[in-house]
């Protein structure tokens, strides 16, 4: 499957008017290609990933998966397409609290025909993310990083053609994070799929051959904005800092 994004825009209606998050995103990825997307918090990375995964709709522009616009499909077919071909690791997991670890990983396989091998693949994935001894735990009985690893196993269970991972190593220690990066890369290579990973981790990003950055509502090759970046970062941090007056020690004689 190929992925083609042309002039993608996303505006959110808000109480103070339309908020323009994606202004003009263009991207082409073929089978067997992987991309890491970095960029500041709030720059639109999750928004882009949700649209690529057909979980949200663009305001304008085109997304084509396998040459077709998925948003023209009737809702039921779109849900079926998504379940079959898209693996999504959400920034906040979305595990079902009443199901065990093993059941959570198997959920995407329940709608389709049973192939009998799903459970052994689920067990293998859980073993590869280091959770073989947690199969019967409920999500509430896991650590944050363990929940994240369950979500990764669940995203891989159907060997999706499009694998989208939003901060997949956000809660993990360095070593586990590296293992997760390697697992994502290994599975996507085995299945010749497309992999798009959003991350703030420079270490995870280094494992990927192609890196881009979300900035000003567009996607640009990493480093393209380096010029002037220091000034912008300074501006950003200054704007987050409390006004200097609130940091100053109270004047002598003040109550
Ligand atoms: N449903 C919504 N309605 C209005 N604004 C939204 C909505 N969802 C997201 N936003 C805004 O869009 C911007 C981009 O959000 P998004 O979640 O894509 O950022 P991000 O790059 O993933 O950030 P982070 O690195 O913190 O996860 C944010 O400023 C956010 O406040
Ligand atoms: Mg995000």
In CATH, what number is assigned to the domain containing residue 84?
3.40.50.300
- Least trusted range by pLDDT, from 79-88, 156-165, 219-228: 219-228
pLDDT of residue 243: 47
Percent of the chain as helix, strand, coil, to the nearest 5: 40, 25, 35
Distance in Å, CA 42 to ligand 1 centroid: 5
- Domain-located, residue 250: no
pLDDT of residue 186: 87
**Residue whose structure tokens are 């090759």:** 221
Q: Shortest CA distance to 69 belongs to which of 6, 111, 121, 18?
A: 6
- Cα 98 versus chain centre, distance: 24
pLDDT of residue 244: 46
- Domain-located, residue 103: no
Structural domain harbouring 46: 3-96+161-237
- pLDDT, tens digit, 9 for 90 and up, residues 146-189: 998 999 999 999 889 999 999 999 888 888 888 888 888 988 88
Q: How many residues comprise the chain?
A: 255
CB of 19 sitting under 6 A from ligand 1:
yes
Distance in Å, CA 186 to ligand 1 centroid: 30
CB of 46 sitting under 6 A from ligand 1:
yes
pLDDT of residue 92: 81
Number of neighbouring beta carbons within 10 Å of residue 12: 13
pLDDT of residue 108: 87
Strands 211-215 and 218-221: antiparallel
- Least trusted range by pLDDT, from 112-116, 121-125, 220-224, 241-245: 241-245
pLDDT of residue 225: 64
Torsion of CA 186, 177, 197, 150, to 10 degrees: 80
- Domain-located, residue 23: yes
Q: Are 138 and 97 a contacting pair, CB within 8 Å?
A: yes
Cβ-Cβ contacts under 8 Å for 62 (sequence gap 6 or more): 4, 5, 6, 7, 8, 69
Distance in Å, CA 160 to ligand 2 centroid: 21
Q: Report the percentage of the chain scoring pLDDT > 70.
A: 86
pLDDT of residue 191: 86
pLDDT tops 80 at residue 238: no
- Domain-located, residue 205: yes
Helix ranges (H only) for the chain are: 45-52, 75-85, 101-110, 118-128, 144-156, 174-191, 202-206, 229-240, 244-247
pLDDT of residue 227: 52
pLDDT tops 80 at residue 240: no
Number of neighbouring beta carbons within 10 Å of residue 151: 25
Distance in Å, CA 211 to ligand 1 centroid: 21
- Atom index in ligand 1 nearest the CA of residue 43 equals 21
Number of neighbouring beta carbons within 10 Å of residue 94: 13
Q: What SS3 state is found at 224?
A: coil
- Domain-located, residue 132: no
Residue 36 half-sphere exposure toward CB, CA atoms < 13 A: 21
pLDDT tops 80 at residue 114: no
Task: With cut-offs at 50, 70 and 90, classify the pLDDT of residue 254.
Answer: very low
- Total domains present in the chain: 1
Please tell me the pTM assigned to this model: 0.85
pLDDT tops 90 at residue 4: yes
Q: What SS3 state is found at 22?
A: strand
Q: What SS3 state is found at 48?
A: helix
Question: Averaged over 216-238, what is the pLDDT?
Answer: 66
**Residue whose structure tokens are 């908020």:** 19
Cα–Cα distance for residue pair 245/117, rounded to 1 Å:
65
- The one-character DSSP state at 130 is T
pLDDT of residue 248: 47
Q: Identify which ligand lies nearest to the alpha carbon of 200.
A: 1
Distance in Å, CA 102 to ligand 1 centroid: 31
- Domain-located, residue 116: no
Number of neighbouring beta carbons within 10 Å of residue 4: 16
- Least trusted range by pLDDT, from 11-15, 111-115, 139-143, 199-203: 111-115
Q: Shortest CA distance to 86 belongs to which of 112, 107, 59, 55?
A: 55
- Domain-located, residue 52: yes
pLDDT tops 70 at residue 249: no
- pLDDT, tens digit, 9 for 90 and up, residues 6-46: 999 999 999 999 999 999 999 999 999 999 999 999 999 99
- Domain-located, residue 83: yes
Q: Identify which ligand lies nearest to the alpha carbon of 22.
A: 1
Which of 22, 44, 165 should be mutated for ligand 1, with most atoms under 8 A from CB? 44
């Amino acid at each position: 499957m190929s992925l083609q994004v042309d002039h993608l825009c996303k505006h959110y209606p808000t109480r103070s008017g339309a908020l323009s998050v994606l202004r003009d995103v263009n991207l082409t990825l073929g089978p067997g290609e992987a991309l890491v997307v970095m960029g500041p918090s709030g720059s639109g990375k999750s928004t882009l990933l949700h649209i690529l995964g057909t979980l949200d709709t663009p305001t304008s522009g085109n997304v084509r998966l396998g040459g077709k616009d998925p948003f023209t499909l009737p809702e039921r077919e779109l849900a079926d397409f998504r379940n079959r071909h898209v693996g999504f690791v959400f920034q906040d997991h979305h595990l079902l609290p009443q199901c065990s670890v093993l059941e959570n990983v198997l959920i995407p396989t329940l709608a389709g025909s049973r192939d009998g091998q799903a459970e052994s693949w689920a067990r293998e994935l859980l073993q590869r993310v280091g959770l073989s001894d947690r199969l019967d735990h409920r999500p509430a009985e896991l650590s944050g990083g363990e929940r994240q690893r369950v979500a990764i196993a669940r995203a891989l269970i159907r060997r999706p053609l499009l694998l989208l991972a939003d901060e997949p190593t956000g809660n993990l220690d360095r070593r586990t994070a590296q293992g997760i990066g390697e697992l994502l890369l290994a599975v996507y290579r085995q299945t010749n799929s497309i992999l798009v990973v959003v991350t703030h981790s420079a270490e995870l990003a280094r494992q990927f051959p192609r890196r881009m950055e979300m900035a000003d509502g567009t996607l640009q090759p990493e480093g393209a904005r380096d010029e002037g970046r220091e000034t912008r970062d300074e501006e950003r941090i200054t704007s987050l800092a409390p006004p200097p007056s609130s940091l100053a020690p109270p004047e002598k004689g003040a109550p």
